[in-house]
Amino acid sequence: MTSLCNLRYYSAIARRCGVAALIFCTAIWAGGPAQADSILPRPYEVLRQELDRIEGFEAWPARPEPGHLLSAPHRGDGIRVASHFTGQSPAILTQQTGARFDTLATARALPPLQLETGPPDQGIAIAQHRGFGSNAVFPIGPDGFAALSGRGEGSLAILFDHDQAAVGLLVHADYADPLGTRPAPRGTVEVIVLGRDGHVLARPVTGLSSGLTALGFGTASGAPAIAGLVVLNTDPGGIAVDDILYSRAAVMGRMQQSPLNRRAVSWHADRRAILSPHAWKTAQILPLQP
């Protein structure tokens, strides 16, 4: 009888331990994403007042499209821009219309985040943009730099030197169409938000319209957790990106507001250096395409 009671006792303990273990494992599995800081939309104009840096690519000499093709990341003040991150798996999305866009088969990157550029004849280009009225960056898609259909259909990766509590950017989807000759349906822009360890924090998708779309994102807690972004799109005319908002200095705790807003100064600021043969050989200038 004593043995039977002990057996029942230990069976009950085992069942309870099993349930506890299941709850514990479930909590750990669910706690991974739950513990990560949520990414929320933030108004671009508000962030423009809070953050102290704007990367506008103005250090590059103004050139009409196609502009400068970069075979290495653009370097700004606390920011770098290229195609994607190491560990991600670039792929090509082909629509029924035949339009081709860069996408990612694997969005998670290897830690810590490191930029990649290419493949050859793709990467990113910096050119004078009529819609922005200033320099902007064009992610070059599968059709390549020389083709009009390749400009803006690519993947754009942004890496910050310091983790950010909030970021913003302007996306130009297309020029005005007063005669209504272009197809009405527009595409979308997806911003993949990444932590320094390569994990995906969020993948918000926004519908595009002709002209400017202002995007802003921030952590729910206000703590710096955003290390990088990848911008993808499916717009028929492709996109250009300008005026990336971020904070130059490392932020401790909650984001602090700053009334200052200064455009970033990059190593490209010396135009003579760009035109010299020792300018990292990153820029290839081709004639204007029709």
Question: Based on the domain organization, do 100 and 51 belong to the same domain?
Answer: yes
Q: For residue 284, what pLDDT is reported?
A: 37
pLDDT in tens, 176-186: 555 566 655 68
Question: What percentage of the chain carries pLDDT values higher than 70?
Answer: 70
Question: Based on the domain organization, do 10 and 93 belong to the same domain?
Answer: no
pLDDT in tens, 48-91: 999 999 999 999 999 999 999 998 999 999 999 999 999 999 99
The sign of the torsion formed by the CA atoms of 126, 234, 186, 243 equals negative
Q: For residue 185, what pLDDT is reported?
A: 64
Question: Based on the domain organization, do 99 and 229 belong to the same domain?
Answer: yes
Letter string b/e over residues 223-257, b meaning 16 or more CB atoms within 10 A of that residue's CB: bbbbbbbbbbbbbbbbbbbbbbbbbbeebeeebee
Q: For residue 141, what pLDDT is reported?
A: 97
End-to-end Cα separation, the chain, in angstroms = 94
Written as one letter, the residue type at 180 is G
* Secondary structure class of 271 (helix, strand, coil): helix
The number of domains in the chain is 2
Question: Based on the domain organization, do 82 and 53 belong to the same domain?
Answer: yes
Question: Based on the domain organization, do 262 and 171 belong to the same domain?
Answer: yes
Tokens of 21: 């273990």
pLDDT in tens, 92-117: 999 999 999 999 999 999 999 999 99
Mean pLDDT score, 145-169: 96
Question: Based on the domain organization, do 27 and 140 belong to the same domain?
Answer: no
Range of the domain at 129: 38-285
- Is residue 290 a part of any domain in this protein? no
* Sole residue written with tokens 């020029």: 175
Mean pLDDT score, 167-183: 76
Question: Based on the domain organization, do 5 and 106 belong to the same domain?
Answer: no
Question: Based on the domain organization, do 14 and 78 belong to the same domain?
Answer: no
- Is residue 147 a part of any domain in this protein? yes
pLDDT at residue 274 above 80? no
- Is residue 91 a part of any domain in this protein? yes
What residues are paired with 168 via a beta bridge?
Answer: 216, 245
Mean pLDDT score, 137-164: 96
Question: Based on the domain organization, do 5 and 50 belong to the same domain?
Answer: no
Question: Based on the domain organization, do 122 and 18 belong to the same domain?
Answer: no
Residues 6+ apart with CB under 8 A from 241: 136, 137, 139, 156, 169, 170, 171, 172, 231
Q: Report d(CA 139, CA 118) in Å as an integer.
A: 10
Q: For residue 286, what pLDDT is reported?
A: 36
Written as one letter, the residue type at 274 is I
Question: Based on the domain organization, do 44 and 28 belong to the same domain?
Answer: no
Contact 156/244 with Cβ under 8 angstroms?
no
- Is residue 4 a part of any domain in this protein? yes
Question: Based on the domain organization, do 92 and 159 belong to the same domain?
Answer: yes
pLDDT, the chain, mean:
80
